[in-house]
Structure 1
Amino acid sequence: MPIHSLSDINSLIIKEKQYSVTVPGISGLSVRVSPNGKKTYYLRYSHPHLTGKRPKMMLGNVEDVSLYEVKYQAESILELVAKGVDPKARHQQEKTNKYAHLKNAPFAEVVQAWRANKIAGRDKGKANRAAFSESTLKFWDLCLGYMCQEIGDLRMNDITSEIILTVCESIQNNKNQATFVGASTRLYTEKVFSFAVARGLCDRNVAVDTRGELAPANSGKHLPAITKPDKFAHLLQDMASFNGASSMTLAAMNLLPYVFVRSIDLRSMRWQDIEWDNELWAFSPTKGEGREDMVSHLVVPLASQVIARLRDIQAITGHNEYVFSSMRASSNAYISKAALVQVFHRLGYKDVQCAHGFRASAKTLLMEQPELRYSDIVTELQLGHRIKDTHGGAYNRLDEIETRVQMMQDWADYIDRLRSDTSSGN
């Protein structure tokens, strides 16, 4: 008997063998009745590419889907077939890629998907990693909010690197915004595009082409700093092999890249400020006193390589107050600024790299290198900066400390790899 209503379906008797009954009006649609009493909608269709093949799709159980709904679903599938699309392959693709509906979607929609995916990924691994802090989420929204305001309605494949760069430059040129906000907006836009490309939502990551085209993310002070991995590797190798200075100056010079604090804070480092058990260095930055843009107390996680270097130095100056005590008969309790300045001049890096420049080097490389990719907010915290335009004085000296501990170890491992990479000289 033909199927015209739910009553007709309910009246189908159960037999010892499975059988099917046609639903009139929709070619290939039927109700299958199983010996266990289960009744299921199926659709057979002519494969759009394979002659003679008629695949079958299950459209749902009778108790879950109405006859009206299943007819509409079947008609939609047959329309795809008429257009040369295999609906079974399409269904499988959508099943494996939950973001398929966002293919070439507006930028603002993909941003929301990226954000939700990041949060969900961190939540799944909560046993090992802390959830993103409220300040981190707010900073994402600040940066990507600027981009969405300008290009949120543009579809992913219509956005060009020129468009992205123009928006980021306008942020950096806004006197009410810090330089790093524009740089961070560029970085997060690149991450959104990377997310989209990996899931087939757009053709390519055009934001990659904007790398290195903005003012550095550190600040408006243009002190010389190397931010390219190959050149940074050369610098590290030159520093490691240099011996034209005192032992304390050399020790300070080679420790500086690992901690990227200001020269004065490293030179005046005190043994009593090192927490050996926790592998932390806690101190009050010299330039943090009375400044709204700087924290008054900074915690620097010490990577295993840093601990090892400090233990070596402790054998020499551990009886003194300062780690880098002056070994010469002078009024200086610790090595002078001039000593570090002269080292980089002698190395041939005048106007190329200075002691302070390691802060910019670290920040840029930590944010942009694929194997690192730490957020702007975490790097800013480690530099001892307040993000005045978004959070004011809300930060605590231990904010994001777990992430910062991991970041500093990853950074130490990264620069050790660069230093030992002999191919960088080619």
Structure 2
Amino acid sequence: MQIHSKKEINKLAIKTSDYLVGVSGVKGLSVRVRPHGTKEYVMRYKHPHNPGSRPRMVLGNVEELSLDEAQRQGNAILSALAEGVDPKTIRLQDSINKYSYLKNATFNDMVTAWKKHQMSGKKQYAKSTQAYWDLCLNYMIEAVGDLRMDEISSEVILAVCEGVQNNDNKATFVGASVRLYTDKVFKFALARGLCKKNAAEPTRGELAAAGSGNHLPAIIKPEAFAELLKDMDNYEGAAEVTLAAINLLPYVFVRSIDIRSMLWEDINWEQALWEFSPVKGEGREDMVDSLVVPLATQVVRRLKAVQAITGQQKYVFSSLRSSKNPFISKATLIQAFHRMGYKGKHCPHGFRASAKTLLMEQPELRYSDTVTELQLGHKIKDTHGGAYNRLDEIDTRIKMMQDWADYIDNLKNSTDEILD
């Protein structure tokens, strides 16, 4: 077996011991799968000056390094070996010299270098993610961009972040993100000997939490949720594809952007699974970059109905009107809930909070925080600091998603008193 795509890497099973699977097209390049779930690219080669030695170089984690980049690096190593050069020597020298020009650099210059580093040799980040980096870091650049790294104090960093959190928009999340990305820039510089300390580190825990601002509206009580489901089922004020997306949201409780950009090719009909890369997971340390959503029988049935309409399109919820957007827009979903009378009460994103709360609190469900968080696409650390794999607790999650679908169908169809 050889690896040809990222999807094939994601499907590699976790075993009780390390094992290697070769990568197509590059001699010596493999993916190593470890028992705790880590997958990394490794390159094994014959030492140019010691034929009996076969060193192994770790190129990077598969979550951080794209398959194309791993193959490019593998071919570069083979080229160096053909010239009689040990690639480890080149790597060491490059790591020493690559950033020497940034000694005593300003914060602005260091931000530029950090962003370049993020975009080079790692996974491709969406333009929206890059724009968010700029939004957050520009607050700090305006305040200390011309100062050298060792001239910036923790007090100034904290003041800038608090100023963002306390502005007219009450941008709690953005202020916390300013601190986070400033910390990343300092870590980048400190690890390469480009500054003497990480001035952002002492500010950790000193700001309002990212999620402590105004929350998006969500209904979390069974009685009110049942009414919402009935209103959605009876709503006819939108196009057929939009109605299908609206009524699928409660069953899968993913983010609006992820259901709107859902691809037919990501659906595994045989196993009733939907595997995709969450848009918000790109560049986020708290979000997975690959999520598996088990599809309940009700969901499969609904998707089959949509397939009759958009099955020839790339996207499940393709925009059938002449539009710049290839799939239905965020505004379209939000406006539908407003028209149903739920402005300020519930929104498309709110189904995540609804599902999380009801799955954990209702007696007939009672699923754990770990399982629900995994299904929401949040990264969870175990007691040893290792992150859960995207397929962890998959059997439990398959059962949970079917139980959830049955539960909300019963809510919607019940005429009896619903017990809290």
TM-score, normalisation: structure 2: 0.48
TM-score, normalisation: structure 1: 0.48
Q: Which structure has the greater CA radius of gyration?
A: 1
